[in-house]
Structure 1
Amino acid sequence: MALLTPGVIFLTRSAVSLLFPCSIMVAVRYSLSHHFDIHVPMPVLVATIVIVLPCVAYARYGLVQMHQRRRAAALGARIASPLAGKWPANLDHLAALVKSAEGGYPAEFVWRYIEDYGTVHDINILWESEIWTYEPEHIKIILSSEFPNYVKGSTFGAATQSVLGTGVFNSDGDMWKFHRSMTRPFFSRDRVGDFNIFERHADVAIKHMKDRLRAGYAVDIQDLVSRFALDSASEFLFGKNVDSLADPLPYPYYAKDEHPIQTSPADAFARAFADAQFFVSRRSMYGWMWPLGEIFEDKTKKPMEIVNAFLEPIIADAIKKQQSASVPMEKTTEVMEGETLLDHLVKLTTDRVILKDEVLNILIAGRDTITATMTFMTYLLSQHPDVLARVRAEVLENVGPSAVPTYDNIRNMKYLRAVINETLRLFPAVPFDVRQSVNEAVWPSPDPTKKPVYIPANTSTVYCAFVLHRRTDLWGPDANEFDPDRFLDYRKKYLITNPFIFVPFNAGPRICLGQQFAYNEMSFMMIRLLQNFSTITLDVDAQSPETRPPASWATATGRKGLEKVWPKAHLTLFAHGGVWLKMSGAV
């Protein structure tokens, strides 16, 4: 079974699909030889196969394109503008995309595509249509008004199956509804308004920060918040804290020789978690050909072995507890007092695969959304001391210098909510999202002088919140600036009149169930930070040189020219090399 890598499976299936045309050509050679005394040498036959098969494939692609143009015309529409590459199959665009993902700014290539092809276009790499849009009207169609026609689909599912399995983020139809129905009751207001878990882990995190800061070292806020989020999420989900905050915090680059890196099971889990997501994101980039990069190994296998080794004993214990209960727990969607999400799920199913996939999907959401948003929010506050002073004043006015924030405190803090939203606008935790059309469809044209856009059946559609949230025609000329007041002053008219210009938590039937939970957790942690620290300063020297933004960025336009940290993305957004901060005590 170890030999059945994604690449081997892909090649085997491809060989089977090629067997029929090759058999026909062999049969033709046999017939010419035995019935017409025409002998075709084997090298000629092989050369013919090598030449003919790509020609047949290209001809088939041409016929598909012709059919789509005819269907579009019949519906009074047009096909999405395809990228025109210099190399066959738009391989030059693929190379640029990969280069940008590894050494550039997120989605920077998209702005050139928008300028050349408009706000909806067909990437069309490796002869596979993939329609990208940055139009709120199209996003509304995908996520809400025509939701049943846009599923996660087989393309996304194949690339992410080894990590996400059949969890809620990777499933469709009845399986998606089943996962959704299992988890929905757990995110009721009384559950998401219970801050006891946040309080325990926030206190531990801040103690570690103070210890490290007193020693004169900067703290990687991304690492710290990731630990806080992981410990909080694991206790919320499993009733078992992984205790990642018990591990020593990393030291800055300039102190690495004095303090060697230490690892632990919790640290290994977090790293494997990130590695698995990285490999999945790279698969999606290479489209249908991604298995060819994994002929000798499934690149997600090793990190997922670490992740599964961590999760499976927890799930086994929950199942054992359910099965050994003197009075079996009733299969009900009602959440009992003191029940964790895993306790709740095992009442509904004891299928280990379903349970593991679901808790892993929720764990990704619970950790990565909080980590990304808190990381970039503290970074932005370090660059905008006026915003920091104002939001801290709101904290002190509403909560005080040491009191534990309550649900009502958080609900009444409008400026803090605006700071979070403005961070989510500029740095959405999920910068790209993918759907696949079930049936053919027609989207309205962004240009009223042109025909609507035709969407073929079974076509991948991608919307990019990272770009959508920064469009100056949708958010105003200052869209690249960090200004939380845009969610409070006259500029909020942009959002009120067009709510689908802001989709950090998805929308429609798949809207994030944990949205309010995430807002509460981020608000709670930020309040605790601002109660304890009055200034936040970015320490660029603490970061490893190769993870700092390249010097060439300084002359770039837009936010790229402003950044002092390096945003990157796998399934979710993160800061390359972390965000190293120094903070001073409250006054």
Structure 2
Amino acid sequence: MSSKHAARFKLPPGLLPVLKQTGFNCLPAAFVVAGARALSAAGGMNIGIVCIALAALLSIPFVYVGRIVYRTRSYKRRAAAMGAVMPPERVGKRIGNLDLLQEGIEAFRHGYLGDGFWGGLEEYGPLHTVSLLWEPLYLTTDANVLKTILATDFPIFDKGEDFRETVHSVLGVGVFNADGEMWKFHRTMTRPYFTRDRISHFEMFDRHADLAIKKMKERFRGGHALDFQDLVSRFTLDSATEFLFGQCVHSLKTDLPYAYNDPVAALVVRTPSAADRFTEAFLKAQAALAMRLRMGWVWRFSELTKDASAEAMKEVDAYLQPIMEEAIRKNRSHIGKSGGAGKDQDAEDSETLLDHLVKLTDDPVVLHDETLNILIAGRDTTAATLTFAVYLLCMNPEVFKRLRAEVLEHIGPTQMPSFDDIRTMKYLRAVINETLRLYPVVPFNVRVPNKDTTFPNPDPTKPRVFVPANVAVSYSVFMMHRRKDYWGPDAAYYDPDRWLDERLNKYFTANPFIFLPFNAGPRICLGQQFAYNEMSFFLIRLLQNFSQMELDLSAQPPEARPPPEWAGAEGQKGAEKIFPKAHLTLYVHGGLWVKMTEAERDV
């Protein structure tokens, strides 16, 4: 690993920010001590050391409270100057809203998605604030506000310095963690590659899907349950690494896990392969980031002596670094042989994304971070959607039957689907979109305004809402996708037909910003069509090969089963048979254990 890249991990990420903030908070005490000494020297006053120490200590909370009061009044004054109002504020029962902070962390660990911090939506509305340890945070699920953030006022809203610092140890300076000119640079590098016809990599999908389905059949023929989430994550990882690097990690070639209650599990000793280690490290690094994001600025105190993502990133980098170095070496060699022609930015049909990127930069840090960011997007998001799609098909056999009929009608029982085939399959697209509506792969996100601005008020009869510069705005696509005023009285329930009947025009067509699984505006996902193609292809292959599918709830680990109190909830929450959770992206806690019946073939 280059020394430049290693420097990112040299110090625990919480240490310098805490020291900096501590020093800033102690300035009042320093002024008190300096003032007391000056008075003593100038006027001959004998101020006791105990009095000085007491005054110094009391000055810290006094000034801190003063700053909070001043900031609150400043916000109101600046809001009035812009003809705007402050949003409703959710207030907890303990000092600093410690109860709400603890509630949020507890919900992240053990609750349903949207519990915790987001529990005030019904009482305080789709745009309100909450202060966690006196740091204000805006929360919103309002489509017009999201349109403002992501599109209308896009230049005003950044990822923000706090977010970049929080996720830097994993995402570095990649496209998901960049703002301004750095973001434009990353976007410019990758856009040409994704706009070409190569987004329909069907032959690549077919090779990896064929191996995945072969592994499934072997497991089912033995009478065993299979963790579909694990399998499809291997499929998307193998596809993503081949697409990005031209070097597949071959995770599908390693042994699949058995359920905790399967007798074979006690007899089989699985030695983690390089692919297994890479995958596990990949998830651990993201889990560390997720916990930081849920804790707010307090996470820095938990990482004063150790970076929670460091060990996992060593394993990730051990896989990525040789690939980066080889790509740079090949490009330099090509330039030397062609007299500089290697800088042609038009990607060749056979080149990988990394081949394309090294033509534009040979900075190992930029290449590492950009490919890792895209790998997270390409592997995790598609795997999550396919996992929840199969989960919902198991839960809704009538949808499975109808979708399989469409597959057999349009494609047949064995033929490989083409791009044009997929475009004609309206029910398949409806099933995928409904999965993305109920389980958007990035359920929560954040932006920070770089200057004072306003949001449209959810109540159109009232003035716009003031948003101070540098205050985080957290938004939830997950919560917005389940709003009844946006999607109808059945918004909390699974129904692919909403994408085919009159509800489509009534809700989505009338307001497209109520559906944002791939983001929107200038930051809209470049790989959106690639993802739709990959998900569609795998689902078609799956339904060609299996005539029935069902959940094996007995194979679900006990700690990964939904708590009994969810059963009384409305909609999908009350129907859950698994435990959906999120780090940066959604996943099923404990895996999705299923059994399937092979389709009969005509001899």
* TM-score grouping bracket, smaller chain normalisation: over 0.9
**AA of the residue aligned to 1:195:** F
Contact 1:182 1:348 in 2 (8 A): yes
**AA of the residue aligned to 2:259:** P
Contact 2:118 2:139 in 1 (8 A): no
Match of residue 232, structure 2, among 216, 225, 248: 225
- Over 3 Å counting, the alpha-carbon distance change for 1:79 and 1:261 in structure 2 is farther
Contact 1:83 1:90 in 2 (8 A): no
Structure 1 Cα separation of the partners of residues 13 and 118 of structure 2: 33
Match of residue 414, structure 1, among 399, 421, 426: 426
- Over 3 Å counting, the alpha-carbon distance change for 1:283 and 1:277 in structure 2 is same
Q: Which residue of 2 aligns with 1:300?
A: 309
Structure 2 Cα separation of the partners of residues 160 and 109 of structure 1: 22
* 1:158 Cα deviation after fit: 0.7
Contact 2:200 2:533 in 1 (8 A): yes
The aligned runs of 1:84-483 (5 Å cut-off) are 84-109=91-116, 112-255=119-262, 256-325=265-334, 326-327=337-338, 328-483=340-495
- Over 3 Å counting, the alpha-carbon distance change for 1:553 and 1:261 in structure 2 is farther
**AA of the residue aligned to 1:11:** V
Structure 1 Cα separation of the partners of residues 231 and 51 of structure 2: 65
- Over 3 Å counting, the alpha-carbon distance change for 1:213 and 1:43 in structure 2 is farther
Kindly provide the CA deviation profile for residues 104-156 of structure 1, in whole angstroms up to 9, marking residues without a partner as x: 10012466311111110112212112111111101111111111011111111
Q: 3-state DSSP class of the match of 1:39? A: coil
Q: 3-state DSSP class of the match of 2:446? A: strand
**AA of the residue aligned to 1:264:** S
Q: 3-state DSSP class of the match of 2:131? A: coil
Whether 1:527 aligns to 2:540 is yes
Q: Which residue of 2 aligns with 1:564?
A: 577
Cα RMSD of the aligned pairs, angstroms, is 1.4
Query: If the length of structure 1 is used for normalisation, what is the TM-score?
Result: 0.98
Q: Which residue of 1 aligns with 2:592?
A: 579
* 1:555 Cα deviation after fit: 2.3
Contact 1:182 1:333 in 2 (8 A): no
Structure 2 Cα separation of the partners of residues 174 and 14 of structure 1: 28
* 1:236 Cα deviation after fit: 0.3
* 1:43 Cα deviation after fit: 3.3
**AA of the residue aligned to 1:245:** L
Contact 1:137 1:500 in 2 (8 A): yes
Q: 3-state DSSP class of the match of 2:532? A: helix
- Over 3 Å counting, the alpha-carbon distance change for 1:123 and 1:44 in structure 2 is same
Structure 2 Cα separation of the partners of residues 313 and 397 of structure 1: 46
Q: Which residue of 2 aligns with 1:56?
A: 63
Structure 2 Cα separation of the partners of residues 570 and 41 of structure 1: 53
- Over 3 Å counting, the alpha-carbon distance change for 1:226 and 1:289 in structure 2 is same
* 1:541 Cα deviation after fit: 0.8
Structure 1 Cα separation of the partners of residues 309 and 545 of structure 2: 40
* 1:459 Cα deviation after fit: 1.6
Q: Which residue of 1 aligns with 2:3?
A: none
**AA of the residue aligned to 1:118:** G
Contact 2:32 2:59 in 1 (8 A): no
* 1:165 Cα deviation after fit: 0.7
Please say which of residues 556-565 and 482-491 is displaced more in the overlay: 556-565
Structure 1 Cα separation of the partners of residues 64 and 406 of structure 2: 64
Structure 1 Cα separation of the partners of residues 396 and 440 of structure 2: 19
Match of residue 90, structure 2, among 56, 76, 83: 83
Q: Which residue of 2 aligns with 1:38?
A: 45
Structure 2 Cα separation of the partners of residues 289 and 110 of structure 1: 15
Please say which of residues 250-259 and 456-465 is displaced more in the overlay: 250-259
* 1:287 Cα deviation after fit: 1.9
Q: 3-state DSSP class of the match of 2:37? A: helix
**AA of the residue aligned to 1:166:** V
* 1:187 Cα deviation after fit: 1.2
Q: 3-state DSSP class of the match of 1:257? A: helix
Structure 2 Cα separation of the partners of residues 304 and 556 of structure 1: 39
**AA of the residue aligned to 1:301:** A
**AA of the residue aligned to 2:586:** L
* 1:449 Cα deviation after fit: 3.5
Give the fraction of aligned pairs with identical amino acids, expressed as a percent.
Answer: 50
Q: Which residue of 2 aligns with 1:503?
A: 516
- Over 3 Å counting, the alpha-carbon distance change for 1:53 and 1:473 in structure 2 is same
Q: 3-state DSSP class of the match of 1:124? A: strand
Please say which of residues 371-380 and 551-560 is displaced more in the overlay: 551-560
**AA of the residue aligned to 2:522:** P
Structure 2 Cα separation of the partners of residues 566 and 18 of structure 1: 42
Q: 3-state DSSP class of the match of 2:138? A: strand
Kindly provide the CA deviation profile for residues 154-173 of structure 1, in whole angstroms up to 9, marking residues without a partner as x: 11111011111111111011
- Over 3 Å counting, the alpha-carbon distance change for 1:35 and 1:110 in structure 2 is closer
Query: If the length of structure 2 is used for normalisation, what is the TM-score?
Result: 0.95
Please say which of residues 97-106 and 274-283 is displaced more in the overlay: 274-283
* 1:55 Cα deviation after fit: 1.5
Structure 2 Cα separation of the partners of residues 260 and 93 of structure 1: 44
- What 5-or-longer segments of structure 1 have no aligned partner? none
**AA of the residue aligned to 1:339:** E
Contact 2:209 2:235 in 1 (8 A): yes
Contact 2:33 2:56 in 1 (8 A): no
* 1:78 Cα deviation after fit: 1.0
**AA of the residue aligned to 1:502:** F
- Over 3 Å counting, the alpha-carbon distance change for 1:265 and 1:41 in structure 2 is farther
- What 5-or-longer segments of structure 2 have no aligned partner? 1-6
Please say which of residues 2-11 and 67-76 is displaced more in the overlay: 2-11
Contact 1:253 1:541 in 2 (8 A): no
Q: 3-state DSSP class of the match of 2:261? A: helix
* 1:258 Cα deviation after fit: 2.8
